[in-house]
Amino acid sequence: MEVSLLEKEISGYIGRLLRENFGRGPGNVFCTISSPFVSIYITNFLSPMENTLLSNQQSVYVQKTRDLMMGTLEEEIKSYIESNTKDKIKEFYYDWNLDEKSGMFLFIFEQDHLQDSQSYVNKQLVEQKTIELSKEIQKTPGSTYSKLLNERTLIVVRQGILISLEKEFIHLGFSETLKIAKRKLEKKVINKHLKSYETYLDAKVIDYFVDWNFDEDKSFTLFILKP
């Protein structure tokens, strides 16, 4: 199957799955396949109950509910993508922007050749800005690299970013709390440096998401762009 048709198939499947499990489907689902990634961007996705909770400053409950739901849907989505792409998925990440009613899913195939990815304009500047951002929050990453999947989707990967205190929190079983705190802090700092990213990419950043693999000390940031 052609990549463009496969992207449409996966987008339709994700839209139906979310509608069945959350009671309301997203406005749009945009799937991008660029090995080793399958990125999915979701817009206008918020149920009436979630909207009520957000109106009452209860965003943490919305986040926790979605975390529980994604725990049950992860394997189903992975199986669908694997059966249609004939590739094995080794990692899955997701994040929500509740204020903008948007979200992202990111799947990574086992054949991970990201560091061999093609260059793009100002790639080094984007990665250097990400290193500076990381130092501001915690420490310099062990490695930083990025890939422009298409003109609207950029992924930045960092490895080796956890400090000793964070590792101890994870060891004590506070991974979920740590992730909530890191997500809030990191998005605040990204927002502060947004103009630099937009200048380097010659595009407006309309949305961005972050997630971590604490076991592998790895972080993914996904930028949605408007050229």
Max alpha carbon distance in the chain (Å)?
47
Q: What residues have CB less than 8 Å from 130, skipping those under 6 apart?
A: 141, 144, 146, 156, 158, 221
pLDDT in tens, 22-75: 888 899 999 999 989 999 999 999 888 888 888 887 788 888 888 888 888 999
**Based on the number of CB atoms within 10 Å of its own CB, is 173 exposed (0-12), middle (13-18) or buried (19 or more)?**
exposed
- Over residues 164-177, mean pLDDT: 93
Phi, psi of 47, deg, nearest 5: -80, 160
- Predicted pLDDT of residue 147: 94
Q: Compute CA distances 152 → 7, 54, 104, 204, whole Å.
A: 15, 29, 13, 10
pLDDT in tens, 101-147: 999 999 999 876 555 567 899 999 999 999 999 999 989 999 999 99
Per the CB < 8 A criterion, the answer to whether 86 and 167 are in contact is: no
**Rg of the chain, C-alpha, whole Å:** 17
- Predicted pLDDT of residue 182: 93
- Predicted pLDDT of residue 67: 85
Q: What percent of the chain has pLDDT over 90?
A: 74
- Predicted pLDDT of residue 50: 85
- Over residues 3-9, mean pLDDT: 94
Give the predicted TM-score (pTM) of the model: 0.91
Domain parsing of the chain, residue ranges: 3-109, 115-226
* Cα 128 to the center of its chain, rounded Å: 20
Q: What percent of the chain has pLDDT over 70?
A: 97
- Predicted pLDDT of residue 115: 57
